[in-house]
Chain A
Amino acid sequence: MVIFGCIRFLQLLTLDRSPLQIAFGITFGMLLGVIPVTTLHWLCLLGCLFIVRMNLLAALLSAACFGLLSWILQSPIEELGYWTLTAHKSLLPIWARAYHAPILPFTAFNYSSVMGGTLIAAACFVPLLLLSQILVRKWSAPLHTFWLSTRIQRAYTHYRRMTH
């Protein structure tokens, strides 16, 4: 029963399964995984994830993978953020204005790890969206066929027939 419950939950997560929605799910997952939690823009992204129709399962898996990756690359990401914040004198007025603006400081952009993570996430957004769309178009049908052929899915189908 637990397995069937899980499968049903997975099916709920995969309701929006057009290639674009899956690609959006992967890309949003990347944003959530790379940008540090408890920042204002991360919470906004989380809200968007629920409001905008996109594949939640893809987002969940992508967030886990990219979260792990960003944890591994924590040090270079932090260095990138620190470099961005301090290395350019010409950017000082912009940072100063943002630092003293309302609401914006809650994004914690002045933290080196947040700035580094946000920059990498922003830079990867469009390429990852396009790439994942291509990959989804190419691989979704074979993967779906493979899934239907698995014993778990077949057992679930039999169970549904028996219970209805």
Chain B
Amino acid sequence: MLNAHIRPRGVLFFIVGLLSCYVYGRFVFDAQVKFWLEKELSLLNGARVTIGELNTNLLRGELLLTNVEFGNPISPMRNTFEVGQINAQINVSPLFRKKLHISNMNVEKIRHWTQRQTPGTFDDQDFNRILPAALMDRASTGIYSGIRNELTDNPLRHLGQLGSGFTLPSRLGKFADKLSSVKHLKKILSELSEQELVWEKKKTELPSPAAVEGLKTRLFKTDSRRKMLSAQPELTPREELSNHILNIKLNLNQLQQLSQNVETEMKSTDHLLQKDISVVRRELGIPDTQHSDITNMIFGPSWLGLLEKLSYWIDFSRQQSPVGIIADSYGMTVMSRKGQRSVHFGKVGALPSFLLSHVTFTSGNSAQPDEITINGTCDNLSSDPVLLRLPTHLSFKADYPEKGFRNLVINAVIDHTGEVPKETLNVSIDAFKLTEWPVTQTPDVQITIAKALAGLELTGKSEGNKIDFQWNISLADTEYEIRSRFRQIEQSLGNMLAGLYSFDVQGAIRGGMDSLQFESQSGLGKRLAEGLKTEFRHEFGALDDAILQETKNLLPPIQESIAVRLRKLREETIPAFENTLKVLIPLETGSPATVPQTSSHPS
């Protein structure tokens, strides 16, 4: 009866399947996990990660990894880090609930910049394509676009052109329309051209000689005829004459006013030339010497780069442990990955699907005096902080005397337990060697802080879309490297920076993404700003004179056009009105005998 519904062979296959699972877990699982871990860690690291050995014992919840090498994408034969041993204690019971809880993990014997046996880069081109940039080079670009222009406009970038000189006439021609003086004159010309048409039309409307003759005849007709005409709604000849005279007088006034206005406006062009000098300097990219501190501009690109790198890691933490929604003492987190969403549920306080309770990082007792010393802890790293209700704490200390790197302390708190993600970061370094820090790099001028002993203090927090970061870098024993194709500029910059061995660079950025406020100041920025005013005053003076002269050279063609039109107005249009007026005024006062004969029509 049972055989009618069940296949005995099917049951056998099912049992064989279960046995296969056991064999897989016993003999293949470790290799599979090792392969998977190497691939995932390589994707995270941006270069090959190799695990020497991996042993798991799921019944006892033990995981042991030895000789984990994190390759460096820039130097293939070097490891960014090498970890001697990673020992993790996994809670077994959550595994049946598809949860991974690592109660304790020790990352020991950490060494920096060790030699690799095989290259850390991948031969597989397809895999290389999906590999991200090196850990320290990743950045979220585009998020600070609002302040990008402000920070990347380095006033020293065209300084070299002071030495090479400018081909001003050809360059001025390209942006002549932006010059106030040119714009002003063109506006006068355009208005005058419009007025010219209007007055030409009005000139044709002036009474012709025949019309004046007719008017004169009608003016001296009999009273009876006048009375008869007055009974009609039409104007009497005298009224008509008065209107003509009034109109012409008004027009003459307007014409004279226009002529005077144009003349005055043309004279005011000279005042605009000074304004044009700063316009030309801005267009040519020549430094504006009005600033008292140019720290924003010289360190702007560096700050921007650091901010973008920092924001990448903030984004990364928010993707890996997202904030959730709390409703009726239940928490819910939504994670989006590879086009599908997974929802994590639980009562507030329940265990998340992934939890790394405590990790200890140590370089161990075996660390040599010339090697990096690392001590750190990380607590409560989880996939669902909204359920765990505990923020992630990261504390890290490193010391590398061999490289002049003393007492790095990083403290970070990642609080994604609420509905708004919050991160706090404090970094301090007592001393580190700063080398080859570019201040400005242009084909003409390169200023680099070649060597300095520096200290760093950075504090900051981000909450939702708002950030508030402040930093202070103290530099001492600073040596500069100034290079320019132009000896004079090189010497001037050398004079500017002479004696500036120690200074502080302070900066702060705060606000929402759409209203970021950035401010920074430094001794170097102030010195350079002051130096631009003093050291290059003769060069800037000469340049300003040249700009003034070249700008003036742009004006004569427009001025000539205006003069032609103005001359026509004065010599043709105004006399035409005056002549007509001269003919009409005697008609108004005198008798027919005294009225002069109209000779010609002013056209």
Dominant SS among interface residues on chain B: mixed
- Is B330 an interface residue when CB atoms closer than 8 A count as contact? yes
- Which residues, 75 to 122 on B, are CB-close (under 8 Å) to A? 96-99
Interface segment, one of A97-105, A126-134, A156-164: A97-105
**Chain B CB within 10 A, most for which of A51, A98, A101:** A51
Interface 0/1 of A19-56, CB less than 8 Å to B: 00000000000000000000000000001001111000
Set of chain A residues within 8 Å of B344, measured between Cβ atoms: 99, 110
Set of chain A residues within 8 Å of B343, measured between Cβ atoms: 82, 85-86, 95, 110-112
**Is A51's CB under 8 angstroms from B7's CB?**
yes
Count of residues in B whose CB is under 8 Å from the partner chain: 29
Bound CA–CA A86/B13 (angstroms):
39
Interface segment, one of B29-37, B334-342, B577-585: B334-342
Set of chain A residues within 8 Å of B334, measured between Cβ atoms: 86
**Is B330's CB under 8 angstroms from A96's CB?**
yes
Q: How far is the CB of A116 from chain B (nearest CB, A)?
A: 10
Bound CA–CA A105/B346 (angstroms):
12
Bound CA–CA A47/B7 (angstroms):
11
**Is B340's CB under 8 angstroms from A78's CB?**
yes
Name 11 interchain pairs, CB-CB below 8 A, sorted by A: A47-B14, A50-B10, A52-B6, A53-B7, A92-B345, A99-B345, A103-B97, A105-B98, A111-B341, A111-B342, A112-B342
Q: How far is the CB of B119 from chain A (nearest CB, A)?
A: 35
- With A51-B7, A53-B6, A102-B97 known as contacts, the answer to whether A96 contacts B345 (CB < 8 A) is yes
Q: How far is the CB of B585 from chain A (nearest CB, A)?
A: 90
Residues of B participating in the A interface, judged by any CB pair closer than 8 Å: 4-7, 10-11, 13-14, 17, 96-99, 327-328, 330, 332, 334, 340-347, 350-351, 353
**Is B6's CB under 8 angstroms from A51's CB?**
yes
Q: How far is the CB of B335 from chain A (nearest CB, A)?
A: 10
Bound CA–CA A83/B518 (angstroms):
43
Shortest Cβ distance from A101 into B: residue: B97
Q: How far is the CB of A100 from chain B (nearest CB, A)?
A: 6
**Is B328's CB under 8 angstroms from A111's CB?**
no
Residues of A participating in the B interface, judged by any CB pair closer than 8 Å: 47, 50-53, 78, 82, 85-86, 89, 92-93, 95-96, 98-103, 105-106, 108, 110-113
Set of chain B residues within 8 Å of A92, measured between Cβ atoms: 327-328, 330, 332, 345
Bound CA–CA A114/B542 (angstroms):
76
Bound CA–CA A92/B330 (angstroms):
7
**Is B14's CB under 8 angstroms from A51's CB?**
yes
Q: How far is the CB of B479 from chain A (nearest CB, A)?
A: 59
**Is B341's CB under 8 angstroms from A99's CB?**
no
**Is A100's CB under 8 angstroms from B346's CB?**
yes
Set of chain A residues within 8 Å of B4, measured between Cβ atoms: 53
Bound CA–CA A86/B346 (angstroms):
13
Shortest Cβ distance from A106 into B: residue: B98
Set of chain A residues within 8 Å of B346, measured between Cβ atoms: 96, 99-100
Set of chain A residues within 8 Å of B330, measured between Cβ atoms: 92-93, 96
Bound CA–CA A52/B340 (angstroms):
33
Q: How far is the CB of B256 from chain A (nearest CB, A)?
A: 78
Shortest Cβ distance from B18 into A: residue: A47
- With A51-B14, A52-B6, A53-B6 known as contacts, the answer to whether A100 contacts B342 (CB < 8 A) is no
Shortest Cβ distance from A75 into B: residue: B339
Set of chain A residues within 8 Å of B341, measured between Cβ atoms: 78, 82, 111-112
Q: How far is the CB of B237 from chain A (nearest CB, A)?
A: 90
Bound CA–CA A99/B99 (angstroms):
10
Set of chain B residues within 8 Å of A108, measured between Cβ atoms: 342
Bound CA–CA A110/B346 (angstroms):
11
Q: Which 6 A-B pairs have the closest CB atoms?
A: A105-B98, A50-B10, A96-B345, A51-B10, A99-B345, A95-B345
Set of chain B residues within 8 Å of A102, measured between Cβ atoms: 96-97
Bound CA–CA A100/B13 (angstroms):
31
**Is B332's CB under 8 angstroms from A50's CB?**
no
Q: How far is the CB of A97 from chain B (nearest CB, A)?
A: 9
Shortest Cβ distance from A109 into B: residue: B343
- With A96-B345, A100-B350 known as contacts, the answer to whether A113 contacts B340 (CB < 8 A) is yes
Q: How far is the CB of A118 from chain B (nearest CB, A)?
A: 14
Q: How far is the CB of B318 from chain A (nearest CB, A)?
A: 19
**Is A105's CB under 8 angstroms from B340's CB?**
no
Pick the residue among A53, A86, A93, A112 that contacts B5 (CB under 8 A).
A53
Bound CA–CA A95/B330 (angstroms):
10
Set of chain B residues within 8 Å of A89, measured between Cβ atoms: 327-328
Bound CA–CA A149/B11 (angstroms):
36
Shortest Cβ distance from B347 into A: residue: A96
Q: How far is the CB of B355 from chain A (nearest CB, A)?
A: 13
